[in-house]
Amino acid sequence: MTDDYREAEARARLMIDPADIDWGPPRERPEDWPDDPDVRRFTEWLRSLISAEEWEERRLAHFFALYGAGMPVDRERTPELPFTFDAGEDRGGWYLFLAEAWIDHISDYEPAQGSRIIPLFKMLGAGFDLLMRVEGVEDRARRILVGEAKSPDGALFELLVALVYKKAGWPTVNFVEERKDSKTPDLVVASDEQAWAIECKRMSKARYSQIERDLLWRRWRPVMDMMGPLRFSLYFDLTFKAEISAVPDDYLVRLTATALAQGGTLEVDDEIAVGRISPIAIDAVRAEVRERPVLQSSQRMFELLTGDYAPTFAYASAMVTKAWSVNPRYIEDIDAASIIRWRSIHENAINAKARHFKRQLAEANRQLRGWGPAVLHLGHEAMEGQPAEAARRERLNAMIRDFDTEGVWLFWIMVHHFTFESPPDGGWVAEETVDWNGTNGIPCPLPLPPRLLVLPDDEPGTPPWEAH
Q: What is the DSSP string of 181-200?
A: SS---SEEEE-SS-EEEEEE
In-domain check, residue 114: no
Per-residue pLDDT of 176-216, as tens digits, reads 998 877 889 999 999 999 999 999 999 876 677 778 889 99
C-beta of residue 432 within 8 angstroms of C-beta of residue 452: yes
Structural domain total, the chain: 3
Assess whether pLDDT exceeds 50 at residue 365. Answer: yes
Tell me which amino acid residue 255 is. Answer: L
Which of 283, 312, 344 finishes a domain? 344
In-domain check, residue 116: no
* Cα–Cα separations (whole angstroms), residue 435 to 167, 393, 415: 19, 9, 5
pLDDT computed for residue 96 by the predictor: 97
Assess whether pLDDT exceeds 80 at residue 23. Answer: no
Q: Which one has a higher pLDDT value, 51 or 3? A: 51
Assess whether pLDDT exceeds 50 at residue 26. Answer: no
339 and 373 co-located in one domain: no
In-domain check, residue 398: yes
C-beta of residue 339 within 8 angstroms of C-beta of residue 306: yes
337 and 356 co-located in one domain: no
353 and 462 co-located in one domain: yes
Per-residue pLDDT of 47-85, as tens digits, reads 999 999 999 999 999 998 888 765 543 333 333 334 455
C-beta of residue 416 within 8 angstroms of C-beta of residue 161: no
C-beta of residue 372 within 8 angstroms of C-beta of residue 269: no
Tell me which amino acid residue 389 is. Answer: E
**Crossing angle of helices 111-126/37-47, nearest 10°?**
90
Identify the CA nearest to 159 among candidates 141, 142, 184.
141
* Cα–Cα separations (whole angstroms), residue 329 to 67, 141, 317: 7, 31, 15
Structural domain boundaries, residue 262: 231-344
Q: Any long-range contacts for 260-269 (C-beta under 8 Å, 24+ apart)?
A: 260/230, 260/232, 260/234, 264/232, 264/234, 268/238
Give CA angle at 449 (383, 363), nearest 5°: 55
Assess whether pLDDT exceeds 90 at residue 13. Answer: no
